[in-house]
Amino acid sequence: MPLTLVEMDSADFARRRAPLIAGYAEAITTSRGLTVAEAVAEAERDIAEKLPRGSATPGLLMRKAEWDGTEIGWIWVTLPGPARPELAWIGNIEVDPGFRSRGYAGAIITAVGAELAGLGVPRLGLNVFGANSTAIRVYERLGFEVYAQQRSRELTGIPTAEGIELTPMTDYESRIEALFADFAQDLVQEQGLWHGEAETRAARELAELLPRGVRTKGMILRTVAADGVPVGWVWAGLPAPPRPGLGWLHNIEIDEAHRGRGHGRAAIAAVEAELAGRGVRRLGLNVHGANSGARRLCDRLGYRLLAQQMAKDLPAR
């Protein structure tokens, strides 16, 4: 008998809620640098925000999976909306103990993908934490591809930033304008936003992160100078919600004419040194999935995978 997906009711969700929060809290303890208590509180807050009415929350599919009449797990998928107009998102998938390592996770995702395709949804995405190597292999076999990663490392053994100095930024407006355009284009390509909506969202997020521009508290914006010559810029942030245990490298860019000379690696070392001097113990950053060069550099510098976002196209119906 094939696997079937059955709509969950409020009682089904009620018995799944506590394990969902516990698993989520365990995963973000490391990935966000939280204490156990902070992680549990954040998990509670996030689930309450995303599922205010539990299984009856509008805009989602919540299904329990049954095999030959036996419940073996469940899946929660958020349907496309304003934030992701062409992308459904797996909020959680769980195969119950005793039924794992039998291929059920792949079968559940395949079944929900067929249901979504029947609804005209073109694409399905998910987040997977870096420590979950088994899940990553399953998603790869199912055809999901990485489009973004979060990495981090402990700020110890920082190399010397040979020939590189971080100086006060004097070209903030032009740099942010270029970053804004790149960010909006990424949203178009990765999340299927139309250009006007992508620009609005990019502007909103940048304004939230940098309300006072280069003078925003907790943000470090610097020109990267090589032997006194400006060659790029960096933007880093001190630890703050939702990652109170991590400093964050929001952006680093070496100008095209100065690439291929090791300036990027040295600039990261300079940022690490400045943050370490301020008492920051760990630094995280984002990497675009298609940027294989940046991923290789992160590997060489010791930045390990915290989490990654993956997506696949669904067959047209």
**Do 64 and 198 reside in the same domain of the chain?**
no
**Do 54 and 133 reside in the same domain of the chain?**
yes
The number of domains in the chain is 2
**309 is a domain residue:** no
Burial of 89-121, coded b for 16+ CB within 10 Å and e otherwise, reads bbbbbbbeeebeeeebbebbbebbbeebbeeeb
- CATH number where 30 lies: 3.40.630.30
What does the pLDDT read at residue 193?
Answer: 66
**Do 124 and 33 reside in the same domain of the chain?**
yes
**292 is a domain residue:** no
CA 12 from chain center: how many Å?
Answer: 29
What does the pLDDT read at residue 199?
Answer: 84
**Do 25 and 120 reside in the same domain of the chain?**
yes
Q: DSSP labels for the chain?
A: --EEEEE--HHHHHHHHHHHHHHHHHHHHHHTT--HHHHHHHHHHHHHHH-TTGGG-TTEEEEEEEETTEEEEEEEEEPP-SSSTTEEEEEEEEE-TTS-SSSHHHHHHHHHHHHHHHTT--EEEEEEETT-HHHHHHHHHTT-EEEEEEEEEES-SPPP-TTEEEEE-S-HHHHHHHHHHHHHHHHHHHH---HHHHHHHHHHHHHHH-TTGGG-TTEEEEEEEETTEEEEEEEEE-SBTTBTT-EEEEEEEE-GGGTTSSHHHHHHHHHHHHHHHTT--EEEEEEETT-HHHHHHHHHHT-EEEEEEEEEEPPP-
The residue from 117, 152, 187 where one domain ends is 152
**Do 133 and 75 reside in the same domain of the chain?**
yes
What does the pLDDT read at residue 2?
Answer: 85
**Do 25 and 110 reside in the same domain of the chain?**
yes
Q: Are 218 and 234 in contact (CB under 8 A)?
A: no
Block residue for tokens 């934030």: 83
**Do 48 and 176 reside in the same domain of the chain?**
no
Q: Which domain holds residue 105?
A: 3-152
Point out the residues of the chain with pLDDT beneath 50.
Answer: none
**290 is a domain residue:** no
First and final C-alpha spacing in the chain: 25
Q: Are 74 and 7 in contact (CB under 8 A)?
A: no
Cα angle, residue 94 at apex, residues 88 and 99 outer, rounded to 5°: 135
CA distances to 154, 163, 180, 238, 293 from 222, rounded to whole Å, are: 22, 15, 17, 14, 23
CA distances to 160, 178, 304, 313 from 235, rounded to whole Å, are: 19, 14, 20, 33
**Do 164 and 274 reside in the same domain of the chain?**
yes
What does the pLDDT read at residue 206?
Answer: 87
Q: How far is the C-alpha of 304 from the C-alpha of 295, rounded, in Å?
A: 10
The residue from 152, 187, 214 where one domain ends is 152
33-74 pLDDT tens trace: 888 999 999 999 999 999 999 999 999 999 999 999 999 999
**40 is a domain residue:** yes
What does the pLDDT read at residue 192?
Answer: 66
